[in-house]
């Protein structure tokens, strides 16, 4: 597509439930990133996929968080047993190659609210 | 670790005013520096970048100069418009790294 697409745009869930967030990157972009934007804070790196290489999961805050990227395209971020501190905007970005100088293209994000 | 500190907002200006958003960084080596902008209801977009000392990035009337001696990358625009109302993020990455470290963002509102 023309841009990075994320769904849903908003998600309200009850504490303890699992959620899945989806990201469709720009076609042909080999690199895909997930970031989290909490209220009043900057963006926090979560995970990075590059081609067929093993993902960099070093930013995932706990083992309740996981992500996969199928066929080198669509990615799903899963949060199990959600907690209130998971409430944030989850942003996905893609870029045509490795290295930040390529420039990221971000999606509009998924606003997650855990009640 | 690498980090970015940018001035807190919100910043409210009148049209045609001069805008400066301060950004300083802490990093080992010589990082690349970026400004991203998030317009209401949209995703972040790369506004400009600089990859080495004394480089000036520019776009849409905005400029920022990479100052190694002061570890700064301040964003400036000489005459803002209502359409410049957005959240501005300063960011850095180590050379050839893929991770970006972002500042907290500065909300700018321009009034007609």
User: What pLDDT is attached to residue A1?
Assistant: 52
- pLDDT digit string (tens) for A25-62? 999 898 999 999 987 677 899 999 988 888 999 999 99
Q: In terms of C-beta density within 10 A (0-12 exposed, 13-18 middle, 19 or more buried), how is residue A47 classed?
A: buried
Tell me the average pLDDT of chain A.
91
pLDDT in 10s for each residue of chain B, 112 residues: 789 999 888 999 999 999 999 999 999 888 999 999 999 888 888 999 998 899 999 999 999 999 999 999 999 999 999 999 999 999 998 876 788 899 999 999 999 9
Q: Using DSSP, how many helices (H) and how many strands (E) does chain B show?
A: 0, 12
Q: Which residue has the higher pLDDT, A102 or B58?
A: B58
- pLDDT of B28 reads 84
Scanning A8-47 for CB atoms below 8 A from B yields: 31, 33, 35, 40-43, 45
Count other C-beta atoms under 10 Å from residue B99's C-beta: 17
State how far Cα B51 lies from the chain centre.
14
Integer Cα distance of A33 and B89 in angstroms = 17
pLDDT at B22: 97
Q: What is the pLDDT of residue B98?
A: 80
Contacts of B101 in chain A (CB under 8 A): 42, 45
Closest CB from B34, B98, B103 relative to A42: B103
Q: Give the whole-angstrom CA distance, residue A2 versus residue A14.
A: 33
Q: Contact, A83 vs A14, CB < 8 A?
A: no
pLDDT for residue A99 is more than 90: no
pLDDT at A88 over 70: yes
* Segment 94-113 of chain A within 8 Å of chain B by CB: 95, 98-101, 103-109
């Amino acid at each position: 597509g023309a841009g990075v697409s994320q769904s849903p745009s908003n998600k309200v869930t009850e504490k303890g439930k699992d959620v899945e967030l989806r990201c469709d990157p720009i076609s042909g972009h080999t690199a895909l990133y997930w970031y989290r934007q909490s209220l009043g804070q900057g963006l926090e790196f979560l995970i990075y996929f590059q081609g067929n290489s093993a993902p960099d999961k070093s930013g995932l805050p706990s083992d309740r968080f996981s992500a996969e990227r199928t066929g080198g395209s669509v990615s799903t971020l899963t949060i199990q047993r959600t907690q209130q501190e998971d409430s944030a905007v989850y942003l996905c970005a893609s870029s045509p190659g490795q290295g930040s100088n390529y420039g990221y293209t971000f999606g509009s994000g998924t606003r997650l609210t855990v009640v | 670790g690498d980090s970015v500190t940018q001035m807190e907002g919100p910043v409210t200006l009148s049209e045609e005013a001069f805008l400066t958003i301060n950004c300083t960084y802490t990093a080992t080596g010589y990082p690349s520096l970026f400004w991203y902008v998030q317009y209401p209801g949209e995703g972040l977009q790369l506004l400009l970048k600089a990859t080495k000392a004394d480089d000036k990035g520019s776009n849409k009337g905005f400029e920022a100069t990479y100052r190694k001696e002061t570890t700064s990358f301040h964003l400036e625009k000489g005459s803002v418009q209502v359409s410049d109302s957005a959240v501005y993020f300063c960011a850095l990455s180590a050379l050839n790294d893929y991770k970006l470290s972002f500042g907290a963002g500065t909300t700018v509102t321009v009034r007609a």
